[in-house]
Amino acid sequence: CNSPRNADLPAASTQLVLITHPFHPFSGRQLVCVGERYNRSGKRLLLRVDDRTVCSVPPEWTDIAAPDPEVVMGQGRALFRVADLMTLADLVTRLRSRS
């Protein structure tokens, strides 16, 4: 993907990206990447859904990112990744401390 300064992209700079996240509404679809943006969550890809809609997804949810070694080693059997469980535990701890 390119990160253009304007909205129009030449056709040569477009790239098809496959949504690989199993719970994303567009999972399994190839969409045209029209740019990249950064926010407090990190890098996001801007993918054109149709003529009027662009969605923003993390690169980890597409085939652009390298496969997660933990998922590859587990051959898809694990329901959760350790990093995700640790983030969830931190969130629960913070929420409990508020009440």
Instruction: Give pLDDT tens digits for 31-90.
Output: 999 999 999 889 999 999 999 999 999 998 999 988 778 777 888 787 778 888 999 999
Report the pLDDT value the prediction gives residue 49, as an integer from 0 to 100. 93
**Is 38 in contact with 46 (CB distance < 8 Å)?**
no
Same domain, 39 and 58: yes
Same domain, 58 and 82: no
Same domain, 17 and 50: yes
- How many domains are there within the chain? 2
Name the more confident of 13 and 31: 31
**How confident is the model over 9-31, as a mean pLDDT?**
81
Q: Which residue range is the domain that position 22 belongs to?
A: 1-66
Report the pLDDT value the prediction gives residue 9, as an integer from 0 to 100. 45
Same domain, 34 and 78: no
Report the pLDDT value the prediction gives residue 77, as an integer from 0 to 100. 80
Same domain, 42 and 13: yes
With CA atoms as reference, report the closest residue to 45 among 1, 6, 97, 94.
1
Same domain, 57 and 81: no
